[in-house]
Amino acid sequence: MLLSTILALLLLPIAALGGSATLLDALYNGSVKPESIAAAGDLDMPKIRPGVNATSYDWWYFDVVSTDARASVTIVFYDSGPEGFINPYERGPLSVSITGLFPNGSAYDFSAPATSAVVSRHAGGSFATSGVYKDSGFEWKGTTSSDDGEVTYVVSIDAPSIGVNGTVSFKSIAPPHYPCGLNVPGATEQLFPHVFWSNAIPDALAQVDLSLAGAELKFDGYGYHDKNWGDTPFVTTTATWYWGHAHLGPYSIVWFDAVDSVGTEHFSGYVAKGGKVLLSSCAKDSAVARPWGANDTYPPTVTTGVMQGLDIQFDLGHGKTFWANVSTTAVAIDFGVYVRTLGTVTGGLHGCSKTFDGIALFEEFKFTS
């Protein structure tokens, strides 16, 4: 047996209990390997080994939409090569961006580079991680209560160079999952070829308290945290995609419906009720999202305007379907190939007269002309 194999076997129990990874603000020059099968405790850890190269990406994403679907914040911790994803590449792969809407509809957008980063998880088998993006002023801290397993994450910002400071806090109310099922070792992490996803916090009670270049942004809402990664330029793997999450009545829902570059449609649907998972699947039609109203071209193209709304159908199995009708209330980002929107949502179980109202934050990529 190779010494490295013996060491890896010896280290395995330690890795399962805790551990940390350092990310360098330099591209790896060579072939990288994306993690594709879940390992215990690994859900929210770095996924590209040995480190991102020019054409790969790994990021941690957080968002909150206000309870009136008017204000928002999205924070993304990037570790991304210049051709990996479409985010602005600063002087290296590590950077953090914070974007969103003030309640009056004005957009804000700040970003800061980091010089290195450390992502660590805690002992005790929880998936919660903490990440410090050095010299950016941004970090997140995830914890799991040893009493009841409650997961909380707090993003803290102290970035005087860009005039941003404050906190965004998340208290999870729905269990984590991967594209095709819950957080168990051996689960597939692949959404479709070369694109991977884990969703640590599908829904959360969230509080935002930020100072943004002198302006205050303070609101309560529903939050979300996930991560994506891939080993091939995102624009070459994806043709169109709808992703989003919503909170309505007792329900937490997450949809993902994308068409890849060879024209195959891929699905991932998640529905939880009061924190109990009813659906976590990548089966065909597990979540089918289609635009309605103005700008309802499907599949959308780069010139299609922002959709007036989205109709989403979740196949819960056993003949049951959950439906959600999202109406766009505000546009946080629109630059042709990418749209991020806020909305109100109405939905419920098909054939059930009881319907629920809530709020959503959703996005669309459209790379086809």
Ligand X SMILES: *[C@@H]1O[C@H](CO)[C@@H](O)[C@H](O)[C@H]1NC(C)=O
Binding site for ligand X (CB under 6 A): 29-32, 53-56, 102, 104, 106, 165-166, 209-211, 215, 231, 292, 294-295, 305-306, 308-309, 311, 325, 327
Rounded to a whole number of angstroms, the minimum distance from the CB of residue 49 to ligand X is 10
Rounded to a whole number of angstroms, the minimum distance from the CB of residue 308 to ligand X is 4
Rounded to a whole number of angstroms, the minimum distance from the CB of residue 275 to ligand X is 27
Rounded to a whole number of angstroms, the minimum distance from the CB of residue 58 to ligand X is 12
Rounded to a whole number of angstroms, the minimum distance from the CB of residue 65 to ligand X is 17
Rounded to a whole number of angstroms, the minimum distance from the CB of residue 281 to ligand X is 22
Residue placing its CB nearer to ligand X in the complex, 149 or 163: 163
Residue placing its CB nearer to ligand X in the complex, 276 or 350: 350
Q: Which residue is nearest to ligand X (CB)?
A: 305
Residue placing its CB nearer to ligand X in the complex, 42 or 231: 231
Residue placing its CB nearer to ligand X in the complex, 162 or 277: 162
Residue placing its CB nearer to ligand X in the complex, 169 or 280: 169
Residue placing its CB nearer to ligand X in the complex, 56 or 238: 56
- Compute and round to an integer the Cα radius of gyration of the chain: 20
